[in-house]
Each structure stands twice: as C-alpha cells, then as structure tokens.
Chain A
Amino acid sequence: MSTYTWAAGYVDDGDRPQIVTSRFKYDDGYTLERYHATGGYDGLRAALARTPAEVHDEVKAATVLGRGGAGFPAGTKWGLMPPGKFPRFLVVNGDESEPGTYKDRLLMERDPHQLIEGCLIASYAAGLAQVFLYIRGEMPLAHERVATALNEAYAAGYIGRNILGSQFSVDIVLHWGAGAYVVGEETALIESLEGKRGEPRLKPPFFPAAIGLYGQPTIVNNVETLSNLPWLAVNGAEAYTAIGTATSPGTRMVAVSGHVKRPGVYEIINGTTTFRDLLYGDEFCQGIRDDNELKAFVPGGGSAPWFTPDQLDLPFESKLVGAAGSMLGSGAVMVMDHTTDIPKAALTLVHFYAAESCGQCTPCREGGTWLERIMQRLADGRGSHDDLDQLFEIGQAICPGVFPHAASERVGLEAKPFPFKMTTICFVGPSAYTAVHSAVTLFRDEFEAKIVERRRIPVSIEAVGAH
C-alpha cells in the first residue's frame, strides 16, 4: 500500500481530561462494539431515567458552550424555543469548512456513536421530533462511519420508535452537503436542508430556535457541542464545570496547523490553556518548526483577526480574546513563522471567502472579489500605495467604522476589541476583510516592500521578462 493515511491528526499524550476524544486511541473506536465496551449509551440511559426538564437543566448548569464558532451555551439555546410549538427539529451542523478547523470530521469518523448519543440526549431533553445530521459532502469516510453507526444503533433500538422501551421516539436522518462553506452558517444550513440554495437569512426574523426548518422551532448545534452530552449525562454538570473556568467550562478541541513542530488536534482545557502552552508546550506543538521565530497566528479559524507573539499568553477564554481584538471561533490555530510571505498568506484567506460568498449581499459579493483582486496584485508585486488605501475603503463598505485588531508593540498599536459593525447578512463578507485588515495593519511594511520592488522594475523589462 501507499504512503498515505485516511484518518490522522489527533495527538493524545500528556495527562489531560478527555471528554470527547476518549475513544480516539482505539482503531475501532467507531464500532458499536467498542462503544459498548467503553460506556457507550450509558448517557442515554441516564438521561432517560430523568425527566426531559432535568436533563435540560443539567445541560444549562454545565454551560456547554457551542463549539461551532459563536460559543453560545447550548442549554440556553434550547430554552429559546417558543413553548408549545411543535414539531421541533435538531439540525446537526457537520459542515465543518472553516479554514484551519479540523475536529468535527474526527469526531464523526472516530466516534460516531458518541455524536448519535448526544443527538438523542438533546432530542429527549428539548422535545425534538426529528434529527437531521448534515455532513459536509466532501467527507465520505465520515459519512460511511456515521451511516454504519446509525444502522447499528437502529438495529440495537437506540434510535427510532420507543427507544430502549421508553416513550421517547426520534429518527436521525443522515443528510449530505455538496460543497459550499457558507452552508455552515445555521440559517443557510436550514435553507440547504430545505433543498434550496444555501443563502443565509437575516436574524431576526429568521432566528432558528423560533423560525427554523420548515418555519418550525429548530436547534442547530455543532458536532462537537453534541458530542459533549454523553459524558455530561453520565458524569453530571458538577464534574463538567470542575474542568476549565466558570465562563469556559469543560474542554475543547483545537486544531493547530502551519509552522509548528507537531501540528495536530488537541483536546485542551477550556479557559486556562494559553496560546503559549499550545504552541510551545511539550504535550502540544513543541515549538515553531526549525525553531524559527513566530511571526503571527490566526487564533480561531480563518475568520478571526490575527495575533502576533504579543498575545501568546492569552488563555482560551472568549471574553479575554475578544478584548484583545480577535475571537476563538471554531478552535483552529494557524501558525506562521518568520519566513512567511504575509501578503500571500492573507491572500489565501481573502480568496477563500470571496470564492465562498453566497452572492446575495452586495458588499460581500462585489467587495470580496474586489479585495481579492487587489490583494492578488499586491502579493504579486504589481500593487500600488493607492491599492493599500483602497483595501480599507472597500473594507469600510463591508464593515463601517472601527475594525478589531490586536495590539502590536512592533508597530505601536493598541488593541481594538470586538465587536464590529457590518453591512452584510452573515460573517462571510466581514471575514473576507479580516485577513486583509490584520495583515495590512500588522505588517504594512511587508506590503510596502513589495510595492517598492515593483517600482524599481521598468515596465519594459518586466514585459520582456514575462515572455
């Protein structure tokens, strides 16, 4: 066989609590057999032994923060559904596509039963009639593993009518996406699940908990969020909140990629682990590759404003990170060492968001493409100083007013905290600007260096050179 591997990325050493990754160490962690052998479906049984309201209260007490990006507590979200309005749906957001993010795929490929059990507990607690598990289309292995697990769970009586002999009945339907990042946004996810173009809808009035799938109350939760529930149901809120901090309890999965010695997905302790721990700690990434210098890192997925070494000692706590000018987002850290060509790196992100715009909002559709073209010019060394100003002016049409960024001692900047104003329906538009803004604000010199180079080259020579 060849040299490639089909499932990889998880790093499990050190002595940390494992809430969602406990079965990753087994090659057969995805089978019902292994799941049973490791306490599988005990959480469901524990939940069924209590009333739905009690289970819901437990989830509220544990403050299980959403892991999809916004960090909204799951228990609170479930409580936002208008009382008495049925049917209600659960849509599982398994569309993981945010640049840098790699955790939901692992959870689906390596421990699908844990996710299924989480869906069942949520449905039981919140009175949900049907679950749609929306898996990103470009993840056939996740699809196969989840499909197999669902088939096993149906056969074993965990899903379907009168689950484990109780009154509780729910179906889980597997649904595939077909390649569109924006569909990860929850209202777009719902549109897509209705068979339409995945265009986000304005909140309000389309707040899914009130008006969601087919206009009914709908909970959209991330795969990792739901995967926390079996452990919580077995061990209780107290054990859960004993890990991490009061505002950020439990653990979270973080993918660290880019220029580190040991890139990987780590289950870290919420609220206390710092970026320095993560990037340099022995049980994590063990430092920058070739012991290079750290230049910058993206702390929370491609949509997050960048940090530099100045912010290394911040912990994974969303308020602190927000005040410092960025966000934790979807648990994805992308690391750039001192060799990185900043304009080029930023270009990949602006290209991503421009390409992934759904196209409905003018500022995102037109502004994203325009930003990308200018950035391309600048990265290629064909840009001008006017272009740099123009980037900010286009940015003003997407995000008028002050845009957040980190403090930087190197260039003498104070942090500008979250949030920001935006002219678009969803965050794709602003995200296209984020990388541009961070890169130009923190590393303007690098852009200018390229402009200077360009000025020195007489046009005629460049033209000759192009042949």
Chain B
Amino acid sequence: MTTIDPDTTADDTVEAPPVDPNAVNITVNGVPHVARKGQLVIEAAADAGEYIPRFCYHERMTSVGKCRMCLVECDTGRGPAVTVSCMVPVAPDMKVDTQSETTKRMQEGVLELLLANHPLDCPVCDKGGECPLQDQTLSNGPGESRYVEEKRHYEKPIAISDIVLLDRERCILCDRCTRFADEVAGDPLIHFNGRGNNTHITTYPDEPFSSYFSGNTVQICPVGALTAKPYRFKARPWDLSQQESTCTTCAVGCRTVVQSSRDEVLRYMGVDSEPVNHGWLCDRGRFNFESVKSPDRVLQPLVRDGDQLQPSSWNAALAAAAALITEATAAGGANSIAVLGGARGSNEDAFAWARLGHEVIGTPNVYAQMGDGLPAGLLGQPRATIDQAAHAATIVLLGPDLKEELPVLYLRLREAAEKRWSRIIEFTPKRTGLSPYAWRTIGYEPGTQVAAVQQALADPAIAAQIASGDVVVVAGRANLAESSAATVAALRELLAAVPSALVLPAFRRGNVVGALQVGMRPRPGGLDTRSTLQAAADGKIECLVLVGADPLADFPDTDLARRGLAGARRIIAVDSFLTASSSLAHVVLAASAYTEKSGTTTNIEGRVSTLARQVTPAGNSRADWMIAGELALALGGDLGYDTVDDITADIATLVDGYAEVTIEALAASTDGVVAGVPSAIDPMNVVPVDLPDRNAYDFRLVVSRTMYDQATGTANSPSLAHLPRGSAVHLHPLDIERVGTTAGTEVKVIGPRATVVFAVVADESVLRGTAWVPFNNPGPNVGDLIDCFAAVNDVRIENI
C-alpha cells in the first residue's frame, strides 16, 4: 500500500514563508514571542499571555505613562532597565520580565501609594467588584496600607455635567477622562487643576462638561471616581447579567453590552469594535435605556372606543386590525393601504412587515423613511465602510451635522482629521461639529449645492487634494426645509467627477438602512411617505399602518402630516409609546422595545449585527415581526415564521445583498457581517431643481436635527429629557442687527403658510441670509413653516 504523506507533497510546492518585515523577536519571561514592529511592550506581553497591570494606559488614546503601574524590567542588551511598558515599543531581542523582583517591588509600591489617598469605601462604591484598583490590590498589592496620615479630602461628589458625577477623593489622576475629553471627544472641558499632591480634576466653574460623549469617561475611569447618575447605587456588578448587542439609537450601530439585573436594564457599555465604535458611545445611545422601563410604555394592545383607546386582548386587537385592513381593501383596493415605518425595529421586524404589506395585503405603498433622508437609491451606490471613510485621503461631507446625527461617526472622522491621515472637505448650509477639523468648509445657501460643488472642484488645491488618494463621500440630508433634489444632484456631480469615490450613506434613524434594504420601500407604482401623506390628506388612503412611525413628530412638513393623519380613514399603529401619531390610531398594537427582542440590525455601511434580548418584554408587548405574522394569519395569509431565526435565515436567502449574512456567519463574528450593496434598488434620479430667487429681505430656512430632541427614546429617559436645547431661530449676529432685534428677543418668523414666534439666538455657525431652527425641539414647531414640496423654504423675520 502506498501512502502519500500530504505534508511532504505540500512542502515541495509551498515556498518557505517570507520573512515578515514587521516581526520583532522578543522573549517574555523567558518564552520566545514574535511581536510586531512598533508594538508597545504592554500589548506584546498581553499577546504573549502576560497581562501587565495598568491604570492610565488605554489602547484608544495616546499613552501618557503617568500612573507608573505598568513598569516592568526589559533588557535590550545593557542589563535590565525599568521600562514603562505602555510607552516603550518592543525592540529586537528584548527580554521582557514582568515578574522580576524589581517589577514586583515597583508594582506593590505604586499600588500602596495609590491607596495612600484612595478611600477604602469599596462597599459603597459603584465600581466595587469591577474595579481594577481593587482587583490589582488583591492580586499584586502589598496587603494593607501603612499610611497613617490623613488622606486628601475633597467635597463629596461634584456634578461635572447633567449626567456625570465626580468623586475626587477616589480619583487616581490617570488622565483617562481628561484625555478622552480632549483627544477623542474634542471637548476639553474637564482638566487637571493644581499641582503635585493637590492635583485634581475639575471643570471650569459654571462651565459643565456638557459633552455629547461624557458617559464614556464613566466607562473608562479605572476606579469609581466618575459615576453616571442613571446607574449610581443601582446594582453591584456581581448582580448583573449581560449580553452583547448593537445600539439602534442611530444608524452607526455601535456595539454595546446590555446589562440588567432582576429583569431590568441598568446600563449600556460600549464594546470596542474595531470597524465601528472603538468602544465609544454617545450619551444619547448610552442613557436612553431608561425609556425601556418608562412607566408610559404601551403594555397591551389598545382598541379605540369613541374618543378613548381601551386596553384589549391580543386576539381582539388583531381581529380589529385585520378588520380595518379588510374594510380598507374592500373600500379602495390594496393600493389605498399604506405602511409607514420600520426603521425603529430589527431587520426581521422590517422583513416580516414588508412581506405583510407587499405580499399579504398586496400594497406597493410601504416605506421606512419619514421624508427626512435621501432617496433609497443612495444604498445602491458603491458603498464605503466606516473604516474606509475614516481612512480615506479625502472625506467629502455632503450631509447633516454628524456630531448631531451620527455622533460616533463624528468621533471616527474627527480622529481621522486630527491625526492628519485624512482631510475633510465639507459642504454645508451651516457650520457643523466637524467644521473646526475640516480642511475646507464650503458653506452654501440651501438649493445651491450643485454650484458649490462645481466651484470647489474647479479650485486647483481642492482638485489636487481629491486626486491625491481615495475619496469617500458621506452623503445625507443636511436640511429638512428643502427637497432632497439639490443634494442628490450635487452628489451626482461629485461622483461624475470622482468616479472611484465610495459613498457612505448618512441615514440617521436606527435601522433605516436595514428596513429599506430588506424591503420596506415602495414597489413599482407605490408611494413614498410624502405622497402617502398627500394621498391621505386627499382622502385616498383607506388605511394607514404606522410601524413605529410618528409622522407628526418626524415628518418635516407638519401641516401635511397633520392633514394626512386626519384624512386617513383608518389608522393602525404598532408602537411602544402613545406618540402624537399613534394616539390617533384606531388600533394600537403594543410593540416590545430594544433589549426586549433579539434579531439583527443593519448600520449605515451595511454591517449586520445582532440585537440581544436581555429582558422580558414590558407587559404584553410583542416583537413587531410576531405582530406581523399574527396579523397575516388574521388576514388569512401565513408568513410561516415561528422564530426570529427563521426570518434571519430567510433574509439571507431572499434579500439582495444579504447572501452572506447567515446565522452561522453572524455567530462567528462579533463585529457583524457587512451585507453587499443591493444590485437592484431604484436608481437615484436627478430631479431638476427649480430654485426661486431669494428676496433680499427673506431668510432661507435651514432645519436640522440636534442630538437631543423630543424623540421618544430621549423624551422618555429622565436623564436626557431635559437636554434638548429648545426651539429658537438662530441667526448670524450681523443678521440679527439687520433685522433690528437682539438675541433673546422673540420675533415672528413668517412663511407662506404660517407665522411662528421664536426667540432669537445669535449663532456664528449660521450663514448670513439663512435662518436655522433645530427640528423637533421643545417649543414652537418649525415644521409648521416647512412645505415639503417646495425646493426651498424662505421666511421673513419681523419684530413683534
């Protein structure tokens, strides 16, 4: 019998592995290890299985080497030398010793000294049980402190922001929070003060650490010095159970850990996902878990009885809903039924609802957007990942203020600009959070995007920059008070000039990309949201189904939304809260919320990642996909889904671009799976813009979202509810003079449809000749001034 040794044959054909130019041979405690060139000793040792204790070191921030906990001995040929492992890179033939006599002595020494002034209040400290200082003291510490002197004393916790408290006695001055504020968030509002033994962290008096990212400091504080009000004293780490999940507050899709105790969500933490969020979360995403346990949740189905919505059983409510749909079909045909929404749920929810709408009900009118994005065809463009955007030589911004709408994408792009590996060219009707970091900020008056782009491309410096390397365009809707046409045209212009450019869609709402891609978009002849509402206003919609949609709050043109909801003969709402819109419904089907259901979600780059079910759904609420399935049954159809996995599997088989998003692939990757670009999505047509001249006395209206607004998740989270800045008209200071008013005074803002009274705010980020009003903020409603069919909206401003 002849056997061929597979190894020998392989050896003959495979060349010797090439010498890796990035390999550095070292030993760690005598064991050979191959490290990477430039790698820090602390990282190389970790790869070799030796965890070096540390406090100030954080892999996502510049090393400062302040705490001195990570000192080890390294020998590079001149004898063992004390080495700051968090700052010193490996060198060829370095001998790293993390266990030498000296190393041990240094670690014990630093710990004892840190504890000298650190209160031993672990039993009442939020960090107790998950505190590196506590852990390291137990494993590397000297036993007990011999420090008999009086400890440093500071006033008990000071609130450094609305959400974060600082207990300076516990602070070990590791510079993590301050470095984060300065380096990562770009909000250096907390800082070291004093010197030597009196060094402490503070904000400037009366200038709080009002960063959109303040919660991250709590997560990275290695001791219990920084605590978040929503979690303080709520639980001990050993009582918590947790699962990885994805944040669906916006469409960046940051990876999170959802932690709960006794079936109650208590905390979200950012997970360090390399391609997405690097461990960071925005405060809105981090703290809006409070809304999940809001007492205002809809806990069971409701059916209208005259003026009242009455609690009902699921059977009765589903039967009522099915009856509404059957009646509507009978009255106006399937085309008189429209389904709006889906962006708040999972891919599975959206897929089930798309099938229910398109297949069971048989209507082409299904749409996940609320008239505040760009056409769904944007998803058919050659797409960039977040990583590609954050490493492109040139990042072109043609969309909303990312700091307000996609906050962690803002962090990623800010880093790219700050570290100077990318340059940002920004087209915007109002200075944005990224403007200070942009290489060029090109302001344009609403409607003139195309001209702005053409002019910029003609500038030799800009042309040279664009030609210097890869280009990613981040495209989205910068202004809700103008049609999307001019932005689409400008994007076309850009892509024609730079055919190799990739596009990162700046869609905002949670799972809007997933919902659109798995099918919640009109079939041929179907209506988009604007047309649906117009048809409803014209009495042509027999039944309107709102799947987590609140047009009265989210659709820019409030008047149309109001007329549409009034004109729709029947309304079915699937919602977790009674919103302005869902409270008008005839049947409300109680939907379970994020953290109460599993499934998947798709972010702006098409990355599909998992959602964890960590707590039981509130009351009798159910996942949207279940509701869709049951409604289908009540209508005599059958979607055929018993579990959410059935749908995930179906999506992989049936949805354009999702072939690789299998349950197995999702299970195998913690960072999710990037879905392909759909090949057959509606083209992004350029519609000619008929731009009216602006009367010199008028202001062209710019309306956009702010991080905190009256969105359901924010409004129902007590820690966040008071943070929206409030509705007001923002004008350039010179324009305020021109109007003859002063900041703080109320003025009349007069549009063709309505007059709304706003307070005036002086704002240099607003272009002269334009007026900016934040959308959906507490106070007078700017939506009353917006005509969604107009190319742009002009207003007059008058003193009262």
* A–B in direct contact per CB < 8 Å: yes
Asked if A361 is an interface residue, CB under 8 A from chain B, the answer is yes
Among A10-18, A56-64, A158-166, A366-374, the one that faces the other chain is: A366-374
Q: Is the CB of A366 within 8 A of B105?
A: no
Asked if A305 is an interface residue, CB under 8 A from chain B, the answer is no
Select A401's contact among B88, B102, B110, B117, beta carbons within 8 Å: B102
Given known pairs A360-B175, A370-B149, the reply for A365 and B112 (CB within 8 Å) is no
23 contacts between A and B (CB under 8 A): A202-B65, A205-B87, A355-B196, A359-B194, A359-B197, A359-B198, A360-B64, A362-B68, A362-B69, A362-B110, A362-B172, A362-B173, A365-B113, A368-B196, A368-B197, A369-B197, A370-B147, A394-B113, A397-B105, A397-B106, A421-B81, A424-B68, A425-B66
Given known pairs A354-B197, A360-B173, A422-B82, the reply for A397 and B116 (CB within 8 Å) is no
Residues of A within 8 A of B82 (CB): 400, 421-423
Asked if A96 is an interface residue, CB under 8 A from chain B, the answer is no
Given known pairs A202-B84, A370-B116, A397-B112, the reply for A365 and B197 (CB within 8 Å) is yes
Closest 4 CB pairs of A and B: A397-B109, A359-B199, A366-B113, A357-B196
Residues of B within 8 A of A205 (CB): 87
CB B203 to nearest CB in A, in angstroms, measures 16
Tell me which residues from 333 to 368 in chain A have a Cβ below 8 Å from any Cβ of chain B: 354-363, 365-368
Asked if B723 is an interface residue, CB under 8 A from chain A, the answer is no
Closest residue of B by beta carbon distance from A376: B149
Asked if B192 is an interface residue, CB under 8 A from chain A, the answer is yes
Asked if A385 is an interface residue, CB under 8 A from chain B, the answer is no
Given known pairs A358-B195, A424-B68, the reply for A365 and B84 (CB within 8 Å) is no
Asked if B240 is an interface residue, CB under 8 A from chain A, the answer is no
Given known pairs A180-B195, A357-B195, the reply for A421 and B65 (CB within 8 Å) is no
Closest residue of A by beta carbon distance from B73: A421
Asked if A22 is an interface residue, CB under 8 A from chain B, the answer is no
Given known pairs A368-B197, A370-B147, the reply for A197 and B192 (CB within 8 Å) is yes
Residues of B within 8 A of A361 (CB): 66-68
Residues of B within 8 A of A394 (CB): 109, 113
Select A423's contact among B68, B117, B172, beta carbons within 8 Å: B68
CB A115 to nearest CB in B, in angstroms, measures 29
Asked if B114 is an interface residue, CB under 8 A from chain A, the answer is yes
CB B334 to nearest CB in A, in angstroms, measures 66
Contact with A along B58-83 (1 / 0, CB 8 A): 00000011111101000000000110
Closest residue of A by beta carbon distance from B105: A400
Q: Is the CB of B173 within 8 A of A359?
A: yes
Closest residue of B by beta carbon distance from A356: B196
Contact with A along B113-153 (1 / 0, CB 8 A): 11011000000000000000000000000000011010000
- Chain A residue total in the interface (Cβ 8 A): 34
Q: Is the CB of A362 within 8 A of B114?
A: yes
Select B110's contact among A358, A360, A397, A422, beta carbons within 8 Å: A397
Asked if A151 is an interface residue, CB under 8 A from chain B, the answer is no
Closest residue of A by beta carbon distance from B87: A202
Select B116's contact among A180, A366, A400, A424, beta carbons within 8 Å: A366
Closest residue of A by beta carbon distance from B199: A359
Given known pairs A361-B68, A397-B106, A421-B82, the reply for A373 and B196 (CB within 8 Å) is no
Residues of B within 8 A of A38 (CB): none
Q: Is the CB of A400 within 8 A of B109?
A: yes
Tell me which residues from 210 to 230 in chain A have a Cβ below 8 Å from any Cβ of chain B: none
Residues of A within 8 A of B84 (CB): 202
Residues of A within 8 A of B65 (CB): 202, 425
The CA of A359 and the CA of B147, in the complex, are separated in Å by 18
Tell me which residues from 411 to 425 in chain A have a Cβ below 8 Å from any Cβ of chain B: 421-425
Residues of B within 8 A of A360 (CB): 64, 66, 173, 175, 199
Q: Is the CB of A423 within 8 A of B71?
A: yes
Q: Is the CB of B106 within 8 A of A354?
A: no
Which residues from chain A sit less than 8 Å from chain B, CB to CB? 180, 197, 202, 204-205, 354-363, 365-370, 373, 390, 394, 396-398, 400-401, 421-425
Residues of A within 8 A of B66 (CB): 360-362, 425
Closest residue of A by beta carbon distance from B88: A204
Q: Is the CB of A363 within 8 A of B173?
A: no
Q: Is the CB of B87 within 8 A of A366?
A: no
Residues of A within 8 A of B109 (CB): 363, 367, 394, 396-398, 400, 423
Closest residue of A by beta carbon distance from B64: A360
The CA of A421 and the CA of B65, in the complex, are separated in Å by 16
The CA of A423 and the CA of B194, in the complex, are separated in Å by 22
Q: Is the CB of B149 within 8 A of A357?
A: no
Q: Is the CB of A366 within 8 A of B195?
A: no
Residues of B within 8 A of A197 (CB): 192, 195
The CA of A310 and the CA of B105, in the complex, are separated in Å by 33
- Residue from the set B66, B81, B194 with the largest chain A CB neighbour count within 10 Å: B66
Q: Is the CB of B197 within 8 A of A366?
A: yes
Given known pairs A354-B197, A423-B71, the reply for A363 and B192 (CB within 8 Å) is no
The CA of A424 and the CA of B110, in the complex, are separated in Å by 10
The CA of A456 and the CA of B109, in the complex, are separated in Å by 34
Given known pairs A358-B196, A365-B196, A365-B199, the reply for A397 and B149 (CB within 8 Å) is no
CB A202 to nearest CB in B, in angstroms, measures 5
Residues of B within 8 A of A204 (CB): 88
The CA of A365 and the CA of B88, in the complex, are separated in Å by 22
Closest residue of A by beta carbon distance from B146: A390
Question: Known pairs A367-B113, A373-B149, A397-B112. 15 more at Cβ < 8 A?
Answer: A180-B195, A197-B192, A356-B196, A358-B196, A359-B173, A359-B196, A359-B199, A362-B110, A362-B172, A365-B113, A366-B114, A366-B197, A397-B106, A397-B113, A422-B82
CB B292 to nearest CB in A, in angstroms, measures 40
CB B188 to nearest CB in A, in angstroms, measures 11
Residues of B within 8 A of A362 (CB): 66-69, 110, 113-114, 172-173
The CA of A143 and the CA of B113, in the complex, are separated in Å by 40
Select B195's contact among A359, A363, A400, A423, beta carbons within 8 Å: A359
CB A415 to nearest CB in B, in angstroms, measures 20
Closest residue of B by beta carbon distance from A398: B109
Residues of A within 8 A of B64 (CB): 360
The CA of A394 and the CA of B113, in the complex, are separated in Å by 8
CB A203 to nearest CB in B, in angstroms, measures 10
Residues of B within 8 A of A390 (CB): 146
Residues of A within 8 A of B199 (CB): 358-360, 365
CB A347 to nearest CB in B, in angstroms, measures 15
Closest residue of A by beta carbon distance from B104: A400
CB A159 to nearest CB in B, in angstroms, measures 34
The CA of A397 and the CA of B115, in the complex, are separated in Å by 13
Closest residue of A by beta carbon distance from B198: A359
Contact with A along B184-195 (1 / 0, CB 8 A): 000000001011
The CA of A71 and the CA of B65, in the complex, are separated in Å by 26
Q: Is the CB of B194 within 8 A of A363?
A: no
Residues of A within 8 A of B192 (CB): 197, 359
CB A195 to nearest CB in B, in angstroms, measures 13
CB B183 to nearest CB in A, in angstroms, measures 14
Residues of A within 8 A of B114 (CB): 362, 366
Residues of B within 8 A of A423 (CB): 68, 71, 82, 106, 109-110
Tell me which residues from 85 to 110 in chain B have a Cβ below 8 Å from any Cβ of chain A: 87-88, 102, 105-106, 108-110
The CA of A365 and the CA of B194, in the complex, are separated in Å by 12
Q: Is the CB of A363 within 8 A of B68?
A: yes
Residues of A within 8 A of B197 (CB): 354, 357, 359, 365-366, 368-369
CB B744 to nearest CB in A, in angstroms, measures 34
